[in-house]
Amino acid sequence: MNFSQALLEAIESLSGNKLRSGLTVLGIVIGVAAVIAMLAVGNGAQASITGSISSIGTNLLFVFSGGPDQGPGGGPGGVQRSGNNIRPLTLADAEALSDPLAAPSLAAVASALQGNGTITYGGEKTNTSINGVTPTYYTVRNLELSEGEFINEEHLLGNMSVAVLGPETADTLFGRHDGVVGETIRIEGQPFRVIGVLVAKGGGAFGSEDAGVYVPFTTAQARLIKRESRDQVDIIFAQAASAEAVPTAVEEISAVLRQRHRTVVGADDFSVLTQQDFLSTFSAITNVLTVFLGGIAGISLLVGGIGIMNIMLVSVSERTREIGLRKALGARKRDILLQFLTESSLLSFLGGVIGIIFGWLIAFVIGKIAAASGTDFTPIVGSNAIILSTSFSAAIGLFFGIYPASRAANLEPVEALRHE
């Protein structure tokens, strides 16, 4: 018996029990569709996160207080670990990094104070991040304005009560993010005039910038975000002259701060992170998430494989006399083995093809739901997911078909013909 004959007999056998064959195929369909959909969600999440981080710029560096072994002492909220004798970053540190002679690889440097507070307008209220920033923050963080202007030197020198809103904050307070320049909001009960609204950018390394509010550094320092010393900053953002200059920029920043803080290599009381550090971290997390989701979905494929083995065993039991008759008429052991393996593989193949279609449809629907809810997320159905799921389903069809096929092939003709 050649393969084409075995295939024709398998189709004839399976079509004779359409409902049973269909239910068996359904197990593989669900498994393959789940694997493809889950991997698409994982790939989409990874692309969304890394895309948001990359949109800030690959030449952005973040400087925190607290060495690698101490943990960051600054960052959002400005929590300082005085017990570890961590020296906080200061405005003087930022000014030293701005010196082109000390750090020629840096194009711009910006200091920031970061905290949280309540912002109100009329009857609307939201609790969000408050950022005290300098004018160079706009350039360093690669921001864009949808309307108005960003904080400038005049606002800084005058300790002015002005604010720039992220689009999500504007939507929460006003129900829109256009036409709000000139309105007066209250931050921690104090009045601030809105001078600008940012363009939506999505999440960043420290959460979404779209949901924040930005005020002059000096204003935040004096009235909103209190720190132990007046010149203390929570984080320093630095922009390298180019992506290629990032390693050199890291070394220059480290050299300047070691000199200022009087520390030696290996005993730094600060940390310098790059966008690549964040991309690597988030990629590792989303890779684990993708494998986890795919593994859970893969259990469905195993269940489908068990269904194939079950149906093939039932088929062997029902067709015992037929098998005995075939062997009595000269069918070889390998012919019987090929026949039943072809049937199990055909079930698995059909389930895999239909599962690919359904998996793609599920991913498509998830993408549409995300778009309708305003979430910047698109599931990505990769060729690797299709190859992996179909290969796995084919392997399962063969694996779970071997035992029933071997059982059929090893039946003795006389015993099989006596079977009722």
Q: Residues 54-73: pLDDT tens digits?
A: 555 567 888 888 765 555 44
Last-in-domain residue among 268, 292, 309: 268
Instruction: Let me know if residue 414 belongs to a domain.
Output: yes
321 confidence band (pLDDT: 50, 70, 90): low
Q: Are residues 234 and 197 in the same domain?
A: yes
pLDDT at 204 over 70: no
Q: Are 264 and 288 found together in one domain?
A: no
**Do 257 and 174 belong together in one domain?**
yes
Residue 391 class from Cβ within 10 Å (0-12 exposed, 13-18 middle, 19+ buried)?
exposed
On whether both 406 and 327 belong to a single domain, the answer is: yes
Tally of domains within the chain: 2
What's phi and psi for 162, nearest 5 deg?
-125, 155
Among 307, 249, 336, CA closest to 63: 249
With residue 90 as reference, give the H or E element that holds it. strand 89-90
Q: 241 or 163: whose pLDDT is higher?
A: 163
Residue 95 confidence (pLDDT) above 60: yes
Same domain, 126 and 22: no
pLDDT in tens, 369-395: 887 876 667 888 877 778 877 777 777
What integer pLDDT is reported at residue 162 of this predicted model?
A: 93
Asked whether residue 215 carries a pLDDT value surpassing 90, the answer given is: yes
- Domain span at residue 377 reads 3-53+280-418
Assess if residue 335 is contained within a domain: yes
CA within 13 Å, CB half, 234: 22
Q: Is 273 domain-assigned?
A: no
Q: Which of 148, 139, 169, 125 minimizes the C-alpha distance to 60?
A: 139
pLDDT at 114 exceeding the cut of 80: yes
Q: Cα(141)–Cα(277) distance, rounded to whole angstroms?
A: 17
Is position 251 within any domain?
A: yes
pLDDT at position 74 = 43
Yes or no: say if 327 and 75 are a contact pair by the CB < 8 Å rule. Answer: no
Q: Mark whether 129 and 247 lie in a shared domain.
A: yes
> How far, CA to CA in Å, does 43 sit from each of 51, 119, 368, 380?
12, 36, 16, 6
Q: Are residues 90 and 196 in the same domain?
A: yes
Q: Choose one of 207, 240, 268: the last residue of a domain.
A: 268
Question: Do 84 and 224 share a domain, yes or no?
Answer: yes
242 belongs to a structural domain: yes
Residue 361 belongs to a domain: yes
Task: Tell me: do 74 and 210 sit in the same domain.
Answer: yes
Is 403 buried (19+), middle (13-18) or exposed (0-12) by CB count in 10 A? middle
- Tell me the per-residue pLDDT of 351-365, one tens digit each, with 9 for 90 and over: 888 888 888 898 888
Q: Tell whether 115 and 22 lie within a shared domain.
A: no
Residue 274 forms part of a structural domain: no
Return the pLDDT at 342.
Answer: 79
pTM for this prediction: 0.59
Does residue 106 fall inside a structural domain? yes
Same domain, 410 and 314: yes
Residue labelled with tokens 């209250």 = 186
Structural domain ending residue among the three candidates 203, 234, 268: 268
Average pLDDT (95-115) is 88
pLDDT band at 149 (very low <50, low <70, confident <90, very high): very high
On whether the CB atoms of residues 404 and 310 are closer than 8 A, the answer is: no
For residues 356 and 99, what is the distance between their CA atoms, to the nearest angstrom? Answer: 58
94 with 194, same domain? yes
